[in-house]
Amino acid sequence: MAPFWRPYRRRANMGALHEGHLSLMSAALQKADRVIVTMFVNPKQFNSASDLAAYPRTESQDAAKLRAARTHLLYAKRIYSIFSL
């Protein structure tokens, strides 16, 4: 007998989604019943404050793309909720 549900897949990213990201979501949907996407722009990944400031913030457009890709949940955190400033 097949299991009642397959495990979920989580896909972490920094937003500014493109077709490569969406192909990962599609692949995840092939292997799981639920796909959860986490989105967080981590300042520790940038060499300078100007690079961080220049990184595109496209949360609304990304949410629409994920909705169209049929993912199940988007969990997006703001910087001040992760690091104390």
Catalytic residues: 21
Cα–Cα dist 37/15, whole Å: 10
Phi, psi of 48, rounded to the nearest 5 degrees: -140, 160
The residue assigned the tokens 């996407």 is 37
Helix, strand or coil for residue 55? coil
Helices (H), the chain: 19-31, 49-54, 59-68
